[in-house]
Amino acid sequence: MLNEKTFRKIYNDYLASGLTVKNFCSTQGMLPRKFFYWRNKLKEQLPPKQGFVPIKFKQEDTADQFQPSSNPELRAAHEPQTCEIFFPNGVCVKLTGSTDPEFIQSLILLNAPNHV
Per-residue pLDDT of the chain (116 residues; tens, 9 = 90+): 789 999 999 998 988 888 889 999 999 999 999 999 999 999 888 876 665 555 555 555 444 444 555 666 655 555 667 777 777 777 777 877 777 778 777 777 776 655 54
Q: What is the DSSP string of 43-71?
A: TTTSPPPP-PPP--------GGG----S-
Identify the CA nearest to 93 among candidates 80, 102, 109, 104: 104
- Torsion over CA of 55, 106, 33 and 48, rounded to 10 degrees? -10
Q: What's the pLDDT score for residue 29?
A: 93
- Overall pTM surpassing 0.75 (yes/no): no
Phi first, then psi, for residue 96 (nearest 5°) are -120, 140
Q: What's the pLDDT score for residue 64?
A: 47
In the chain, the amino acid numbered 7 is F
